[in-house]
Amino acid sequence: MTPAEITTFINEKGIKLIDFKFADLLGTWQHFTTTLNEYSEDIFTDGLGFDGSSIRGWRVIHASDMLVIPDPTTAWIDPFNAEPTLSFICTIQDPVTREPYDRDPRGVAEKAEAYLKSTGIADTAYFGPEAEFFIFDDVRYDYSSNGSYHSVDSVEGIWNTAREEFPNLGHKIRHKEGYFPVAPTDTLQDIRNEMCLELEKAGVPIERQHHEVASAGQAEIDIRYAPLKIMGDYMMYYKYILKNVAKKYNKVVTLMPKPLFGDNGSGMHTHSSLWKDGKPLFAGDKYAGLSEMALFYIGGLLKHAPAMTAIMNPTTNSYKRLVPGFEAPVNLAYSARNRSAAIRIPTYSQNPKAKRVEFRPPDPAATSYLAFAALLLAGLDGIQNRIDPGDPLDKNLYELPPEELAKVPTVPDSLLGALETLEGDHEFLLKGDVFTQDFIDNWIEMKKKEYDALRLRPHPYEFYMYFDL
């Protein structure tokens, strides 16, 4: 909608409040709300001021004034407010220079799209993430100087086969056997359906939903592919709507990559492709029906994947998922159909428009705008420098002999390892000023503090292993 259309919409729908949402550096929506007394069509150009010093990873207190600029095309009636509330997704500007704020994730996505067009290689980058999540019935955790504790629970959890449930009807999902069961084993069909319908009301097109592999309520809802920034917006709606629909059912959603030991974690396999003048650029006569450009794009992803994990797998918990054997490929190879490779070429359709590259290591803890921007820049670097991805590896990488597996590079096995790789490999992210050196330095500093926060604390399993020494 245009600003004028929004004014008419407000009057027609009896809107009473306006809500302004924006993503912090870690990919969580922040917001503030005004009455209609603060509304005018000027806000779409002039913005509204706020204090950015308390937003995670943002301004220091002596330079904290910032502007939110609402995007009129994102207007949406938020169903989780009691009073009629019109919601906007916003980008952030410096109030003095009126330049985009370089730590605003949505602004990074905008700059990535502008840089893509400036290269002349393509004019649109499409992304299609497959974000997984868990729906739990209960979550409890605590940490103190002399103890630590966490527990999650689900009526579907295999550990509840003997629990008194007045009555316990069974139908618990065994570890790694949660893919596509029907009711009554799948207890969450209605919740996932409501999530899908609410997402579509927000303008997010849904392809499908289903139970995922793990026990205890793992799920996936797939969004139809869209351009980079729009898909970043979609993923913000995704997290917000999933969590609030779950709350209606007295349940809780987490996108934490590895909440359970010994079962599959939650990934965000991300499909991408480049288009120009309405035509797909990744279809051709090379391996798996790819173009030469697509192979160079893959070359860029493989080269920069270790550094990108610091952005696409941004938590210490992410690296508890990035281990062999759980459909979370750590081996940097590419292949058609093979899900044990970090890069897969889907072969569901031979239509040139469907030709795309699936990058499998990312997880849904990532800030979506940043993850998609980093992936695009790595691929573009591959195209610009004609990076050869080498030969495909059409074998099960989990079953390779040790001498063969040793020749296949891998992603880092810890957040610290990823950050150290990013320190030495981030020039590709600085192209077009998409990411700035300040952004990279701030990200590394912030994430190293997270790594240290975990490293300094005793772990319960250490008592199991070492207390009797």
Catalytic (active-site) positions: 51, 130, 132, 212, 220, 269, 339, 358, 360
Task: Please state, in angstroms and rounded to a whole number, the distance separating the CA atoms of residues 104 and 260.
Answer: 32
Identify which of 338, 130, 336 has the alpha carbon closest to the alpha carbon of residue 238: 130
| Sequence letter at residue 75 | A
* Chain centre distance of CA 263: 20
Cα 423 to Cα 31, 38, 247, 307, distances in angstroms: 32, 44, 40, 8
Contact call for residues 330 and 280 (beta carbons, < 8 A): no
Task: Please state, in angstroms and rounded to a whole number, the distance separating the CA atoms of residues 289 and 100.
Answer: 39
Identify which of 435, 364, 356, 378 has the alpha carbon closest to the alpha carbon of residue 109: 435
Task: Please give the torsion angle defined by the CA atoms of residues 115, 121, 122 and 126, in that order, rounded to the nearest 10 degrees.
Answer: -80
How many Cβ atoms sit within 10 Å of the Cβ of residue 85?
17
List beta partners, residue 269. 130
Task: Please state, in angstroms and rounded to a whole number, the distance separating the CA atoms of residues 326 and 213.
Answer: 10
Contact call for residues 301 and 359 (beta carbons, < 8 A): yes
Identify which of 38, 222, 249, 224 has the alpha carbon closest to the alpha carbon of residue 154: 249
- Strands 268-276, 124-136: pairing is antiparallel
Question: Is residue 268 within a helix (H) or strand (E), and if so which, with residue range?
Answer: strand 268-276
List beta partners, residue 305. none
Task: Please state, in angstroms and rounded to a whole number, the distance separating the CA atoms of residues 438 and 245.
Answer: 37
Question: Is residue 131 within a helix (H) or strand (E), and if so which, with residue range?
Answer: strand 124-136
Contact call for residues 10 and 70 (beta carbons, < 8 A): no
Identify which of 174, 141, 142, 176 has the alpha carbon closest to the alpha carbon of residue 157: 174
**Phi first, then psi: what are they for 247, rounded to 5°?**
-60, -35
Which DSSP symbol is given to 86?
Answer: E
Q: Is residue 296 helix, strand or coil?
A: helix
Q: Is residue 251 helix, strand or coil?
A: coil
Task: Please state, in angstroms and rounded to a whole number, the distance separating the CA atoms of residues 192 and 199.
Answer: 10
